[in-house]
Structure 1
Amino acid sequence: MNAMPHAVSGTIRASAAPADGLGTSAARARSAELERLIHEDPGRFRVLTGDRPTGRLHLGHYFGTLHNRVRLQHLGVETFVLVADYQVLTDRDVADDLSGHVEELVLDYLAIGLDPGRATIFTHSAVPALNQLLLPFLSLVSVAELNRNPTVKDEIAHSRQPSVSGLMFTYPVHQAADILFCKANLVPVGQDQLPHLEITRTVARRFNDRYGRGTAVLPEPEALLSPAPLLLGTDGTKMSKSRGNAIALAADADETARLIRRARTDSERHITYDPAGRPEVSSLVLLAALCQDRAPEQVAEEIGSGGAGALKRHVTEAVNEYFAPLRARRAHYAQDRGQLRRVLREGNARANALADATLEEVRRAMNSLY
């Protein structure tokens, strides 16, 4: 892996952007500026993103985040992709078939076009220095701040455990370690993840103020918000692995057709694109439009009075055509499970080298090298 560009070591921030907040409107304005800067000089950015290996990735993941990762990689942005196996334990007692889920996640990454030669794919549990950063970072955040984090509140509310673990409570600070270990300065997030990223920025800022002695040891990463579409599951609620309403990337053409046939619509025969008034129908229209690179209004007009049956046939054809190359790549990579482990070994080695260097730098700043 190439050495980290010097420009990445400091925060890249608009002069008008507040240092103490990531309001949504400001974040969206800054994201537009960041997109321009990425196209001008992608080498000044380093991205950290990732997923928890809790099940098969689905179409919502693809159009929401995965497609954007490949785009950034192709633009030349240095990309780190975390398989967050430790974070599986935040809301469950046992990580069932964790090894299998990790392999499936890597398989999806390769199938969508992430290139291990250009993107570092690694696992939490294989990078000890990353996890050691959690301890000093926790000392920089108060219990009250963690209590106020709305994302943690939501995750706790939807936890399937009878009680909340300490790991769940400290999740935002662990995520800060995920981002800062490699000195990522750009994090693609949805609007609901802005509070998590603000904790990371707070940790970096407080560490620099307390231990930096006038230098920025850690960057304050910025949010890259994308207009990610919200795709509903087959039951009309948000598409989710845990709700059993998703269309997986690994699904074949027949399974995809079966799932789309059972998707919820409404009783009105004429098809329109009206996300507020007709969310289920509009989500299907949007899915077809994303696959065909068309405006959803055009798709709806084309189907017209064909009804739900015609809509579902149209969506099935669009999805199966779009994802056919991805499915072929996935089948190819699945023939060599050893390659998946090699990808992780190589990514873990790169991640460990960076994490060791960052931990040493952090300990030196804290005057705790012995």
Structure 2
Amino acid sequence: MNTDSASIGLDTTDSDPATSALRTSAAQARSAELEELILSNPERFRVLTGDRPTGRLHLGHYFGTLHNRVRLQDLGTEIFLIIADYQVLTDRDVADNLTAHVEELVLDYLAIGIDPARSTIFTHSAVPALNQLMLPFLSLVSVAELNRNPTVKEEIAHSRQSAVSGLMYTYPVHQAADILFCKGNLVPVGQDQLPHLELARTIARRFNDRYGDGTRLFPEPEALLSSAPLLLGTDGSKMSKSRRNAVALAATADETARLLKGAKTDSERHITYDPANRPEVSSLLLLASLCQNRHPHQVADDIGSAGAAALKKIVIEAVNDYLAPIRARRADYAEDRSHLRRVLREGNERAGAVADATLAEVRTAMNSHY
């Protein structure tokens, strides 16, 4: 399963813009190479990816990551899909409606084409051995390294907690355990997650050096950067569950129409695709083009000087047509909640067996297998 890892070779905790740009450039180049390797030999990779159960998934999630998971699954790559319920607590005082949110995620996964016979869907809290790996992993990183992690800094700045919890600082180490428990060697991420992944690589390398006795217990996981362009929310800002500016995959056709009719545009009547100068209009054009498998310029040319109302009409039709089969499958799955629990139970059992085996190897390597 393991693939040879080409080190990005950069300090994971350096937030200097030039270093960050260099890290991203190196990751983009390596991602292009990885795509070729995936096409030629998908079975050599094991992917770990997932979501926090904080609300329904939306179009930004779908075109950003979800459809790529189905693509990798269908190519024959093994997928571990984690529902990170413990990580909900990193930036919240309590985990509200957790059971419902977990079931909603499972519904979305099944509706878009995730096949539980080929991909393992599981929850953090149901795999004790995974979480137990965090303790030895924490011993391999310093407090200074965690403090310098730019992603942790950003998450603390936007934290909803009354005070920052210790779990926030261990967040990247917990993510390393998520990846390494199954010996994942490929992680689809956005560029903002590169520091987390580099820390997972560092932990894998340090564990192998300290306890490996000449063998490599853990692979150094590599980043598969998404080439998906950014979709803005209906208010023109980043699409987000918490900002209520997104179209959920579970939204009805009428809800979708209402949300998109209220989307922010601009005062220029002639519709053009110009992301730099007309971000809101361009994002709507991009959304229609993704649903219609066309270029945004083609969609813009069709609308011409018909204005924002015509643009929104096309976008609404494109989105509703695209989501119709996904919504139909979702409705079917929603009628049998016992099936959702069975999918999770079986996924938890598979993930638990893998985690138990990895933890046993870790204990042997650390001479703590009594």
TM-score, structure 1 normalization: 0.96
1:21 CA displacement = 5.5
Q: How does 1:109-258 map to 2 (within 5 A)?
A: 109-258=109-258
Tell me the residue number matched to 1:297.
297
Contact map agreement 2:107 2:330 (CA 8 A) in 1? yes
Partner amino acid, structure 1, of 2:206: R
Tell me the residue number matched to 1:285.
285
1:20 CA displacement = 4.9
Partner amino acid, structure 2, of 1:294: R
CA distance in 1 between counterparts of 2:306 and 2:168 reads: 48
Tell me the residue number matched to 1:80.
80
CA distance in 2 between counterparts of 1:12 and 1:343 reads: 32
Tell me the residue number matched to 1:62.
62
Per-residue CA deviations over 1:15-45 (Å, capped at 9, x if unaligned) read: xx54455711111111011000001111100
1:13 CA displacement = 2.6
Contact map agreement 1:190 1:228 (CA 8 A) in 2? no
Per-residue CA deviations over 1:237-268 (Å, capped at 9, x if unaligned) read: 00000111110000010000000000000000
CA distance in 2 between counterparts of 1:277 and 1:236 reads: 13
Mind listing any 5+ residue stretches in structure 2 that lack a counterpart? 13-22
Tell me the residue number matched to 1:24.
24
Contact map agreement 2:5 2:221 (CA 8 A) in 1? no
CA distance in 1 between counterparts of 2:159 and 2:124 reads: 21
Contact map agreement 2:49 2:80 (CA 8 A) in 1? yes
Mind listing any 5+ residue stretches in structure 1 that lack a counterpart? none
Tell me the residue number matched to 1:50.
50
Q: How does 1:6-21 map to 2 (within 5 A)?
A: 8=2, 11-14=3-6, 17-20=7-10
SS at match of 1:80: strand
CA distance in 2 between counterparts of 1:184 and 1:274 reads: 39
Partner amino acid, structure 2, of 1:228: A
Tell me the residue number matched to 2:16.
none
CA distance in 2 between counterparts of 1:56 and 1:195 reads: 26
> Aligned pair in 2 of structure 1 residues 276, 20: CA closer, same or farther (>3 Å)?
closer
CA distance in 2 between counterparts of 1:12 and 1:240 reads: 35
Report % sequence identity.
79
Partner amino acid, structure 1, of 2:334: A
Per-residue CA deviations over 1:296-329 (Å, capped at 9, x if unaligned) read: 1111111110100000000000000011000000
Count of residues in correspondence between the two structures: 360
Cα RMSD for the two superposed structures: 0.9
Partner amino acid, structure 2, of 1:92: R
1:291 CA displacement = 0.3
Partner amino acid, structure 2, of 1:42: P
Per-residue CA deviations over 1:148-180 (Å, capped at 9, x if unaligned) read: 111111111111112100111110000000000
Partner amino acid, structure 1, of 2:134: L
- Deviates most, 159-168 or 40-49: 159-168
SS at match of 1:170: helix
Tell me the residue number matched to 1:315.
315
CA distance in 2 between counterparts of 1:199 and 1:248 reads: 32
CA distance in 2 between counterparts of 1:60 and 1:277 reads: 21
Tell me the residue number matched to 1:336.
336
CA distance in 1 between counterparts of 2:197 and 2:257 reads: 38
TM-score, structure 2 normalization: 0.96
Partner amino acid, structure 1, of 2:129: A
Contact map agreement 1:133 1:177 (CA 8 A) in 2? yes
Tell me the residue number matched to 1:37.
37
CA distance in 2 between counterparts of 1:226 and 1:258 reads: 30
Partner amino acid, structure 2, of 1:289: S
Contact map agreement 1:250 1:327 (CA 8 A) in 2? yes
Partner amino acid, structure 2, of 1:144: A
Contact map agreement 2:93 2:162 (CA 8 A) in 1? no
Partner amino acid, structure 2, of 1:12: D
CA distance in 1 between counterparts of 2:323 and 2:8 reads: 41
SS at match of 1:81: strand
Partner amino acid, structure 1, of 2:237: T
Partner amino acid, structure 2, of 1:149: N
